[in-house]
Structure 1
Amino acid sequence: MTLAPETLLRRLFDIGLAASRPSAALLAPHMPASPRGRLMVLGAGKAGATMAAAVDELTADWPMRPEGLVIVPYGHGLETRHIRVVEAAHPVPDEAGRRASAALIDLARGLGPDDLLLALISGGGSALAAAPVAGVPLDDKRAVTRALLASGAPIGAMNTVRRHLSAIKGGRLAAAAAPARVVTLAISDVAGDDPATIASGPTVPDPTTLADAGRVLADWGITPPDSVARALADPANETPKPGDPVFDQARYHMIATPMLALEAAAAEAARLGLTPLVLGDRIEGEAREVARVMAGMALSARAHGQPVRAPAVLLSGGETTVTVRGDGRGGRNVEFLLALALALGGAPGIHALAADTDGIDGAEPVAGAIIGPDTLSRCRALGLDPAEMLARNDAHTLFARLDTRIVTGATRTNVNDFRAILVM
Structure 2
Amino acid sequence: MSVDPQHLLRELFATAIDAAHPQQVLEAYLPKDRSGRVIVIGAGKAAAAMAQVVERCWQGEVCGLVVTRYGHGAPCEKIEVVEAAHPVPDAAGLAVAKRVLELVSNLSEDDRVIFLLSGGGSALLALPAEGITLADKQSINKALLKSGATIGEMNCVRKHLSAIKGGRLGKACWPATVYTYAISDVPGDLATVIASGPTVADPSTSAEALAILKRYSIEVPASVRTWLQSPESETVKPGDPSLARSHFQLIARPQQSLEAAAVKCRQAGFSPLILGDLEGESREVAKVHAGIARQIVLHGQPLAAPCVILSGGETTVTVRGNGRGGRNAEFLLSLTDSLKGLPGVYALAGDTDGIDGSEDNAGAIMTPDSYARAVALGLSASDELDNNNGYGYFEALDALIVTEPTRTNVNDFRAILILESTKNDA
Please say if residues 362 and 403 of structure 2, whose CA atoms lie closer than 8 Å, have aligned partners that are also in contact.
yes
Please say if residues 367 and 406 of structure 1, whose CA atoms lie closer than 8 Å, have aligned partners that are also in contact.
yes
Please say if residues 35 and 61 of structure 2, whose CA atoms lie closer than 8 Å, have aligned partners that are also in contact.
no
- Measure the CA separation in 2 of the matches of 1:94 and 1:226: 22
Query: What does residue range 2-151 of structure 1 map to in structure 2 within 5 Å?
Result: 2-23=2-23, 25-34=24-33, 38-59=37-58, 62=59, 64-151=60-147
* 1:231, distance to aligned residue in structure 2 (A): 1.7
Cross-structure match for 1:237: 233
Query: What does residue range 262-281 of structure 1 map to in structure 2 within 5 Å?
Result: 262-280=258-276
1:228 and 2:227 correspond: no
Deviations 1:199-238 (A, max 9, x none): 0000100110111111110111111122211221121121
| Residues 134/34 of structure 1: CA separation in 2 closer, same or farther (3 Å cut) | farther
Cross-structure match for 2:167: 171
TM-score of the two chains, using structure 2 as the length reference: 0.97
* 1:38, distance to aligned residue in structure 2 (A): 3.6
Cross-structure match for 2:369: 374
- Measure the CA separation in 2 of the matches of 1:35 and 1:330: 44
RMSD: 1.1
Q: Secondary structure at the match of 1:13?
A: helix
- Measure the CA separation in 1 of the matches of 2:274 and 2:314: 15
Please say if residues 35 and 116 of structure 1, whose CA atoms lie closer than 8 Å, have aligned partners that are also in contact.
no
Please say if residues 351 and 370 of structure 1, whose CA atoms lie closer than 8 Å, have aligned partners that are also in contact.
yes
Please say if residues 20 and 256 of structure 1, whose CA atoms lie closer than 8 Å, have aligned partners that are also in contact.
yes
Q: Secondary structure at the match of 1:320?
A: coil
- Measure the CA separation in 1 of the matches of 2:16 and 2:106: 39
Cross-structure match for 1:324: 319
Deviations 1:403-424 (A, max 9, x none): 1000000110000100000011
- Measure the CA separation in 2 of the matches of 1:9 and 1:36: 43
- Measure the CA separation in 1 of the matches of 2:220 and 2:390: 30
Match for residue 387 of structure 1 among 382, 386, 406: 382
1:193 and 2:193 correspond: no
- Measure the CA separation in 2 of the matches of 1:4 and 1:33: 45
The count of aligned residue pairs is 419
Cross-structure match for 2:298: 303
Deviations 1:135-163 (A, max 9, x none): 11100110000000010000000000000
Q: Secondary structure at the match of 2:185?
A: coil
- Measure the CA separation in 2 of the matches of 1:2 and 1:54: 39
Percent identity over paired residues: 53
Please say if residues 29 and 251 of structure 2, whose CA atoms lie closer than 8 Å, have aligned partners that are also in contact.
yes
Cross-structure match for 2:412: 417
* 1:32, distance to aligned residue in structure 2 (A): 1.6
Structure 1: tracts of 5 or more residues without a match: none
* 1:109, distance to aligned residue in structure 2 (A): 0.7
* 1:35, distance to aligned residue in structure 2 (A): 7.3
1:291 and 2:286 correspond: yes
Q: Which moved more, 1:31-40 or 1:132-141?
A: 31-40
Deviations 1:378-404 (A, max 9, x none): 101111121111001011011111110
- Measure the CA separation in 1 of the matches of 2:348 and 2:53: 30
Residue 187 of structure 1 aligns with an amino acid whose one-letter code is I
- Measure the CA separation in 2 of the matches of 1:43 and 1:168: 12
- Measure the CA separation in 1 of the matches of 2:338 and 2:350: 19
- Measure the CA separation in 1 of the matches of 2:70 and 2:238: 34
| Residues 65/407 of structure 1: CA separation in 2 closer, same or farther (3 Å cut) | same
- Measure the CA separation in 2 of the matches of 1:403 and 1:303: 29
Residue 84 of structure 1 aligns with an amino acid whose one-letter code is E
* 1:37, distance to aligned residue in structure 2 (A): 6.2
Residue 42 of structure 1 aligns with an amino acid whose one-letter code is I
Residue 93 of structure 2 aligns with an amino acid whose one-letter code is G
Structure 2: tracts of 5 or more residues without a match: 420-426
Runs of 4+ residues deviating >6 angstroms: none
- Measure the CA separation in 1 of the matches of 2:73 and 2:367: 35
Please say if residues 41 and 69 of structure 1, whose CA atoms lie closer than 8 Å, have aligned partners that are also in contact.
yes
Q: Secondary structure at the match of 1:268?
A: helix
Please say if residues 36 and 61 of structure 2, whose CA atoms lie closer than 8 Å, have aligned partners that are also in contact.
no
Please say if residues 275 and 313 of structure 1, whose CA atoms lie closer than 8 Å, have aligned partners that are also in contact.
yes
- Measure the CA separation in 1 of the matches of 2:295 and 2:36: 61
Residue 405 of structure 1 aligns with an amino acid whose one-letter code is L
- Measure the CA separation in 1 of the matches of 2:157 and 2:239: 22
- Measure the CA separation in 2 of the matches of 1:70 and 1:164: 22
* 1:242, distance to aligned residue in structure 2 (A): 0.5
Deviations 1:309-361 (A, max 9, x none): 10000000001101001111121101100100111121100110000001111
- Measure the CA separation in 2 of the matches of 1:262 and 1:36: 35
- Measure the CA separation in 1 of the matches of 2:360 and 2:100: 28
1:344 and 2:339 correspond: yes
Please say if residues 35 and 115 of structure 1, whose CA atoms lie closer than 8 Å, have aligned partners that are also in contact.
no
Please say if residues 38 and 114 of structure 1, whose CA atoms lie closer than 8 Å, have aligned partners that are also in contact.
no
Residue 58 of structure 1 aligns with an amino acid whose one-letter code is C
- Measure the CA separation in 1 of the matches of 2:34 and 2:414: 42
Residue 160 of structure 2 aligns with an amino acid whose one-letter code is H
- Measure the CA separation in 2 of the matches of 1:108 and 1:209: 26
- Measure the CA separation in 2 of the matches of 1:110 and 1:365: 41
